[in-house]
Each structure stands twice: as C-alpha cells, then as structure tokens.
Amino acid sequence: MVRRFALTPGEPAGIGPDLCLLLAGSAHPHVLIAIASHALLSDRAAALGLATRPQCVTPDAWPSEPAPAGTLYVWDTPLAQPAEPGHLQAANAPYVLETLTRAAQGCLDGSFAGMITAPVHKGVINDAGIAFSGHTEFLAQLTGTPQVVMMLATHGLRVALVTTHLPLKDVAASITPQRLEEVTRILHADLRDKFGIGSPRILVCGLNPHAGEGGHLGREEIEIIEPTLQRLRDEGMDLVGPLPADTLFSPKNLERCDAVLAMYHDQGLPVLKYKGFGAAVNVTLGLPIVRTSVDHGTALDLAGTGRIDTGSLQVALETAYQMTGR
C-alpha cells in the first residue's frame, strides 16, 4: 500500500535541501512531501545543476501516487530571507521550526504516515532567541509526550540513550530509577511493536568505568541500575547488565543483541557512528508518530557543492517505511 511521508530539509543553509533534491532523482515506493521553501529548492537545484523539478502540492489535494524520478513534491513554506549555502541566518530559524511543526501535525492528523528529517543547526536557532536543544526534545513537547528515547541504528547495531543532550557533569544525577525504567520500557515496547521483534534482548551499559567495579568506582550500578533492571526482568524483559561499556560492544556480545542501552550520549554513539557513519539513522522512540532522521549535521562547508552522500537519508527513509509497514 502506498503511504505518504513528510520530508523536512532542515537548516536551509546546510546540505539538507541538497540531500532532498538528490534523493528525488530516483523513484520511491511511497509519496514523499518535502515541507520547505519552493524557491529555496528551485534555487539550490539550479546551483547544483540538477534536473530535479520541485512541484508544489497542497493539503487539500495531496498526490496519491509517488512522484516520478526527477520530481520532488513540495508543500511550500516560505523563508524569512533568501538562503545562501553555508551562511547561517537567524531570521530563518522560525522557518525551520515551522517545517517541523507542519510535518508533526500532519503525522498526528493522519496526513502523513511518518516524518523524515534532515539536520537542523541548534546554534542558529538559539541565536534567534528560541530555546531549542534538538529535534527529539522539540517533537516530544509538540506532541505532548512526557518521555521519549533517542536511538541510532546502523546495520547490526542499535544504540538507545538514557540521557541525551546534557553536560557530562549532569549525567549521573539524571539517571534515576524512574528515568531508567521509563526509557527501558519505551525501548522494549518500540522494538516489539514498531520493529517486529517478539522478545527483544537489550544489553545495558553501566555508568561508571568497569560498571563501577563492585562499588569502588561508583555506586550507581548497585543502587540504581541493577535494582531497576531486576524489577523489569521480573516482568519478563530480557535485559543483560549493567555491563562495562568498554567491553560491551564486542562482536561476541552483540551477536545475540537487539539493542544496546547506553547511559549517556558519548558512551554509545561514538561506537555506533564509527561502525555506520553515513549509513545510520536516528529514530525517536516513544512518540505517537514515526520520526526518523539522518545521523549527521548540516555540513555547511559542503552545502551547494554536490559533494555529499545521501546514504544516511536513504536509510532514514527505509527505516520509516519499515516502522509504518506493520
């Protein structure tokens, strides 16, 4: 069955518009609607020398069939100022958030089966006076979701996070029994319900070096992590850990694992990105909608050059198709 998906190009001065245009050079099995400035995409296609043609569509007459190769459906969302590749403009920050809002609202009202996002630039949005810490937190607030989970995935490895964009000094205090339980429940439920894994096996990192080494390097494993995991094991969840993060990511450990739960951003994601950079996807779990994203940033220095790879965006598309096809 043909489904409809929203595609947000992210920061207009970055590579997101380029990625969307390049992606539209091939045919796709579902209807993709880029929520973006038609003028931006037309100008960027010309600058890149692409034959891709942005075609305006509107909510009152969504196309029912996928666009042919070389055509990109666009729900026109005007910029505040013309965008120049590589040059950030705070005036366009509200435009970026409007594209995300339109996509998410469309998912909530059933117009879209899911949304796929290209990278935004957090710094320029904050420079515009808008508090913004990332897609994950923005979409959680917009959808009224009290707890979401960031998970990155590539071939053979999924890594979810208990904490996301926090200073390292704040991580330990943020790992509470309640938070760990909520994140683990969301990860387990979405692996089962959205990825079709009947009984997910999850490896859980410790917080401290050597998983605390029996309390000599920290007591979070003894006092928080292990008791919480045991309560969930008693309900039937297959949870292994807490394990030392420096040895958890060995092939032997990962061969019978559906996901790894890391305690903080730079504990798990460096391994994931080393293994699959350019071919990985960022998935927001726990939302009432499906949202996937690329695993990289705006790459301002490459915008408008054509020297980019659409691999991560393609994986994000395929993952959204998988998550909504059940």
**Residue 282, annotated as binding a ligand:** yes
**Residue 194, annotated as binding a ligand:** no
**Residue 30, annotated as binding a ligand:** no
**Residue 165, annotated as binding a ligand:** yes
**Residue 265, annotated as binding a ligand:** yes
**Residue 273, annotated as binding a ligand:** yes
Please tell me the distance from the alpha carbon of residue 315 to that of residue 185, in angstroms, as a whole number.
25
Pairing assessment for the beta strands 4-8 and 31-36 based on DSSP bridges:
parallel
Please tell me the distance from the alpha carbon of residue 237 to that of residue 65, in angstroms, as a whole number.
41
Amino acid letter for position 101: T
* Per-residue exposure over 227-241, b if at least 16 CB sit within 10 Å of its own CB, e if not: ebbeebeeeebebbb
Please tell me the distance from the alpha carbon of residue 223 to that of residue 73, in angstroms, as a whole number.
53
Q: Look at residue 80 and give its three-state secondary structure.
A: coil
Please tell me the distance from the alpha carbon of residue 114 to that of residue 204, in angstroms, as a whole number.
29
The number of angstroms, rounded, from the C-alpha of 87 to the middle of its chain's C-alpha atoms is: 24
In angstroms, the Cα distances linking 79 to 58, 89, 94, 96, 128 are 17, 11, 9, 9, 14
In angstroms, the Cα distances linking 276 to 153, 279, 283 are 8, 5, 15
Indicate the helix (H) or strand (E) that contains 260.
strand 259-262
**Residue 155, annotated as binding a ligand:** no
The annotation places the binding site at: 135-136, 165, 210, 265, 273, 282, 291
The annotation places the binding site for substrate at: 135-136, 273, 282, 291
The annotation places the binding site for a divalent metal cation at: 165, 210, 265
